[in-house]
Amino acid sequence: ATTTTDANGHYSFTAYPGHYNIQVATQPGYSFTPTGDSDVSTSGWSGFHELTTNGTLTLDAGL
């Protein structure tokens, strides 16, 4: 799935239960903070996360 954040950086999409990794893309001139301050790597990828039925996954991508 592909989606865009709102003005506050929030996003959502519907997905089937399973294991997912999320890629976050930045705008030109921005870069990610080191892992520890961000749930995604400096290349924009999260680790794998399990999404259960009716589950919610929350990630923070520090810029």
pLDDT in tens, 13-51: 888 999 999 898 988 998 888 777 788 888 889 889 899
CB 3 within 8 A of CB 41: no
Specify the pLDDT at position 1. 78
Q: What is the Cα 50 distance to its own chain's centre?
A: 13
Q: Report pTM.
A: 0.72
- pLDDT classification of 63: cutoffs 50, 70, 90: confident
Beta bridge partners of 23: 45
